[in-house]
Amino acid sequence: MIPAIGSALPRIETNIIQGGLSTGLSSGVGAAASGQPGFAEVMSKVASDAIGTMKNAEAVSVQGINGQASTQAVVDAVMNAERTLNTAVAVRDKVVAAYQELSRMAI
């Protein structure tokens, strides 16, 4: 992976503290009781899928430069990476906006 891409993508850590509480993201009681994955697990999966999409686009682009992949495959991979990056930026913006809203609340 290109180092600039690797350093730009955040790493999500979901360490569990004793007592079942998370260090930032909580899986929630309702999700655990119904057998569905928690918020932290879903976000971790989304982040790893995004990284995989970026790596795939990079690999297909290199194959296209070497003449081993068609132009259509390169464009498709790059468009998927662009869509993934736009989604990640939108999620980041929403998280920052929510944090700012919470920080303005009076306690």
pLDDT of residue 106: 82
* Res. 11: pLDDT tops 70: no
DSSP secondary structure string for all residues of 29-52: HHHHHHT---HHHHHHHHHHHHHH
**% pLDDT > 90, the chain:** 60
pLDDT of residue 87: 95
- Higher-confidence residue of 6 and 61: namely 61
Backbone angles phi, psi at 85, to 5 degrees: -65, -40
Half-sphere exposure of 95 (CA within 13 A, CB side): 9
Domain ranges of the chain: 39-107
Do the Cβ atoms of 27 and 40 come closer than 8 Å? yes
